[in-house]
Structure 1
Amino acid sequence: MNTVRTSSFHSPLWLPIGLLLIAMASIQLGASLAKSLFPAVGAAGATALRLGVATVLLAVAFRPWRVRVERAQWPALLVYGASLGLMNLLFYKALETIPLGIAISLEFTGPLAVALFGSRRLRDVAWVGLAVAGLLLLLPKGQGQTLDPLGMAYALSAGLCWALYILFGQKAGAEHGPQTVALGSIIAAAVAVPFGIAHAGTDLLSPALLPIALGVALLSTAIPYSLEMVALTRLPTRTFGMLMSLEPAFGALSGLLFLHEQLSGLQWLAIGAIILASAGTAMTAQAPVREPGSGEG
């Protein structure tokens, strides 16, 4: 028993960090692809297609019906799944009116708050402060640009859901392992799909949309959330939250490459500050949290 626990504590940090980087690149590529669905079915319809297709894929892969969920485990699982569904819906609504890199920057206030409130050392606060400076620089100032207030509100609300996703996803993942992603996706689809049906109706069934929906589901949900669940259960919460500060960088690059959203020199400087903050927290991270299923008490 002690041998197993010790090996878990000393497992390398590079593996969950690497998986998290792949997940972030995948999800931003998927977000760029999802915008091509907006003219046909809107943001709510794109969310419904993404989560609906992804849930089927994850259910086939993980067979969540084999998992026994105890009554005491349902609250964390339900909050995790509901926050996942609302996070996707609100973020896509934000993308209707504001650029991808800016939307991600505003949404990041959620994991940033997780990292800040989880800090116990002065250097952790310093990394958070550097990330905050980068986020502030990313916002357009004095460039003749304006941001839609409703789009900003959607992105900030998605950030709140992101924080809940981190906090409750770690607990749910420790209890159910990889199947957590499939269970959470079912709950997320139950929350978000009705909005898509109400907005787009039978247009969601168009055969022409299915290949794009499949690509979005794989890139934005099935692949990254499976990888994130592995990282969630192997990194401290504050470290996971700070590493997610790379999201604006991935979002800005994806917007530039696939959506032709140009960035100023000041905004690229902001991305550099965010990357430095993420690298700093990764280098100073302590050993991972205890192995999944060990509990706290």
Structure 2
Amino acid sequence: MTAPSHARLPVPPWALAVTAMLSVQLGSALSVHLIGAVGAAGTAWLRLTAGALIILVLARPPLRQIRRRDAPALLGLGVTTGLITTCFLAAIERIPLGTAVAVEFLGPLTVAAVRSHSRRALAWPALALAGVVLLTQPWRGEANPAGLGFAALAAIGWGTYILLTQRVGDRFGGIGGLTITIPVAALTAAVGGIPQAAGHLTAGIVATATGLAVLLPVLPFACEMVALRHMTPAAFGTLMALEPAIGTTLGLLVLGQTPAPAQLLGITLVVLAGAAAQRDGRRSPPGGRSEPAQTGMEILG
């Protein structure tokens, strides 16, 4: 069995990562009202179940390609995805979207710092961390321990998710890996989701959850799976610094959560860190032969 091809993409991998982040945060912002109807766990279960059905319609599970050594990564990624989704939705039920995303970003930030191979690369996570502090502003207002705790659990899961997604993406081409991991994620979320959503389901709620499933998990997870075949974990993790800025912006536009001036400065810092990280973000294919670094214009042109 040959490894999945690492052919050049028609768009730069960092653009896929940014598309995934936009989809995740828009889906999260639009999920707030659904959370009010069926709870955070119920929303996670409905979205992941709908997402699993959509993905299974689009692609068949590569069951014949699965080897015994693939099982830990596939099952681990599925369980991690289910836990991340549930914990993050529980966080935004209690704290502002931008704050939850900023805390969750500490997971990818840790991956970026640990996996970096140069001192210069460590400067970008440090800059992003400064922006995260300004975004969260822990010195202002009353903290919600439960909300911050759920966001912290999502952060731990998100760091694990990056590493497992890269392993699964290297092993299975296209969205083949998602046809296994998303159903596993749905089963994981069902443990708390079914009891919470039971008795509250209507045709409208199911339709809403199905629409939101396209924004999260279908589109972003597919984009991330492809992006992580062409990026290092360090570059991808630091590029995720854009997510607090995106979450804060969509929190303002969709939920009316207005950021303070210090938070706007934090947005600027994380955007700068994310933009700098993608410059050296090309990943060598599994065969060991590295591709020359290219800009988005070179790939598109």
TM-score by length of 1: 0.91
SS in 2 for 1:110: helix
Q: Shift in Å at residue 212 of structure 1?
A: 1.2
CA distance in structure 2 between the aligned counterparts of 1:239 and 1:284, rounded to whole angstroms: 7
State how 1:109-124 maps to structure 2 within 5 Å: 109-124=106-121
Q: Give unpaired runs (5+ residues) of structure 1.
A: none
Q: Give unpaired runs (5+ residues) of structure 2.
A: 290-301
User: Match for residue 209 of structure 1?
Assistant: 205
Alignment of 1:61 with 2:64, yes or no, is: no
The verdict on how the C-alpha distance between 1:238 and 1:60 changes in structure 2, with shifts beyond 3 A counting, is same
> What count of residue pairs does the alignment treat as equivalent?
286
Extract structure 1 runs of 4+ deviating beyond 4 A. none
Q: Shift in Å at residue 78 of structure 1?
A: 1.1
CA distance in structure 2 between the aligned counterparts of 1:242 and 1:61, rounded to whole angstroms: 31
The verdict on how the C-alpha distance between 1:134 and 1:13 changes in structure 2, with shifts beyond 3 A counting, is farther
RMSD over aligned CA atoms reads 2.1
Alignment of 1:273 with 2:269, yes or no, is: yes
CA distance in structure 2 between the aligned counterparts of 1:45 and 1:240, rounded to whole angstroms: 30
CA distance in structure 1 between the aligned counterparts of 2:139 and 2:158, rounded to whole angstroms: 30
Q: Shift in Å at residue 210 of structure 1?
A: 2.0
Alpha-carbon displacement from aligned partner over 1:246-270 (angstroms, at most 9, x marks no partner): 1101100110000000101110100
CA distance in structure 2 between the aligned counterparts of 1:116 and 1:171, rounded to whole angstroms: 19
CA distance in structure 1 between the aligned counterparts of 2:138 and 2:192, rounded to whole angstroms: 34
Q: Shift in Å at residue 97 of structure 1?
A: 0.6
Alignment of 1:193 with 2:190, yes or no, is: yes
CA distance in structure 1 between the aligned counterparts of 2:196 and 2:9, rounded to whole angstroms: 46
User: Match for residue 77 of structure 1?
Assistant: 74
Alignment match of 2:18 (pick from 3, 21, 43) = 21
State the identity %.
36
Alignment of 1:45 with 2:29, yes or no, is: no
Name the amino acid aligned to 1:63.
R
CA distance in structure 2 between the aligned counterparts of 1:61 and 1:8, rounded to whole angstroms: 21
Q: Shift in Å at residue 136 of structure 1?
A: 0.8
User: Match for residue 136 of structure 1?
Assistant: 133
Name the amino acid aligned to 1:290.
P
Contact 1:30 1:215 in 2 (8 A): no
Alignment match of 1:290 (pick from 282, 285, 288) = 285
User: Match for residue 229 of structure 2?
Assistant: 233
Q: Shift in Å at residue 79 of structure 1?
A: 1.0
User: Match for residue 261 of structure 1?
Assistant: 257
